[in-house]
Structure 1
Amino acid sequence: MLVVNAQVQGFRPRQKPPQSLPCVFEPKKSLLTVRRAVWLILRHSTAQTEADLHTIALLKKLHPDLNTAISLAKDFADLLRRKQPERLSEWLQNAQQSNIRAIVGFTAQLKDDLDAVINGVTYQWSNGQVEGQVNRLKVLKRQMYGRASHELLKKRFLCSI
């Protein structure tokens, strides 16, 4: 293969390489994913840059049906950040009237356990740590199911703490 390549090189006319290559394309900008869009929208307003605000405005312009969803999401995030449970019933009403299927479903789930949601917004305490420990123990139990005695399971629980 190298012999053929060397022979062909002799037949080709020599060209001078260009001094600088012309710019054929612009570098690709990163695409706006759903996760990034949600992050931009729900980010605290003090942390948003001009580019973020421009991206949100462009998103609203390209998809006018998202205006309601964006405003409802921002209002809900603000309600949670400021711990204002008195605004929750008004937000639920507005969200229910929006006729956006995902948001209406979300409000239905919130209404099912409204007392817990109000307590979650009101109090600074959370049972997240406890739920995390329970989940960890259940995973260990599932992994050990049918494999060994209760004594080994007990030792594994104690060693994982």
Structure 2
Amino acid sequence: VFRVRENSLEVYLPWLDAQWSAGHRNGTQLWRELTRQGFHGCLRVVTEWATRRRKAEKMDCDALSRTPSARTVARLMTIGRDDLSKSQTVTVAAIEGGVPQLVEAREVVAAFQAMIRKKSLADLEPWLERARSSLVAAFANGVAKDRAAVSAAISLPWSNGQTEGQITKLKLVKRQMYGRGKIDLLQARVIGAG
């Protein structure tokens, strides 16, 4: 129904990228050269493009200069490769280059996720053997201790997700009502929330 408005720089972006890579970073100078090539846009369009490009490069440099926290590393190593931004991809590559054991740990975690999604109980024992010799050995030991529950989660079609969702909703209403009313008001809120 609605047409997306084409950017006036769209045609000139390859030339602008080449100029930027060659070291020409002045937005006004780029605009002057573009007008000689037939660009009819205003100076602000080109200077804003240069500013956005400069900020993106600065963010990429900043992301590489500071060491990410352990929580950030764990999140980056468990996200799918297709869902990472450019700076996150560069960070993951630097992490994997510096700590090769994390590559193996990432593969082990991905194998566990695939095993759960595919409901493949036959892969549990080989996965446990592989995981015990990696950085996720503590997690593998926990899975081995609770093997019956993990096997049931993989092989059975049932889930307690619906129950957990209802309990969470009930606790939320309870916290909202804390100190405000008696049991009859809480009951009305819970029944009304259902």
TM range (shorter): 0.5 to 0.7
Deviations 1:8-58 (A, max 9, x none): xxxxxxxxxx9615x8x86426548643442125xxxxx689x8xx86666
Q: 1:20 to 1:75 in 2, by over 3 A?
A: same
* 1:69 corresponds to: 105
Instruction: Select the residue among 19, 29, 47 that pairs with 1:20.
Output: 29
> Which protein has the larger Cα radius of gyration, Structure 1 or Structure 2?
1
- Asked if structure 1 preserves the Cα contact closer than 8 Å seen for 2:78 and 2:110, the reply is no
Q: Is 30-39 or 74-83 further displaced after alignment?
A: 30-39
* 2:140 corresponds to: 107
- Superposed displacement of residue 97, structure 1: 2.2
- TM-score normalised to the size of structure 2? 0.54
Secondary structure of 2:80 counterpart: helix
* 1:132 corresponds to: 165
Structure 1 unpaired stretches of 5+: 1-17, 42-46
- Asked if structure 1 preserves the Cα contact closer than 8 Å seen for 2:78 and 2:109, the reply is no
* 1:97 corresponds to: 133
- Asked if structure 1 preserves the Cα contact closer than 8 Å seen for 2:108 and 2:131, the reply is yes
Query: How many percent of aligned residue pairs carry the same amino acid?
Result: 31
Q: Which amino acid aligns with 1:88?
A: L
Matched, 1:82 2:118: yes
> RCO higher in 1 or 2 (8 Å CA, sep ≥ 6)?
1
Aligned length: 132
2: distance between equivalents of 1:147 and 1:48? 44
Q: 1:20 to 1:138 in 2, by over 3 A?
A: same
Q: Which amino acid aligns with 1:122?
A: S
2: distance between equivalents of 1:19 and 1:122? 64
Structure 2 unpaired stretches of 5+: 1-26, 31-49, 65-71
1: distance between equivalents of 2:109 and 2:156? 21
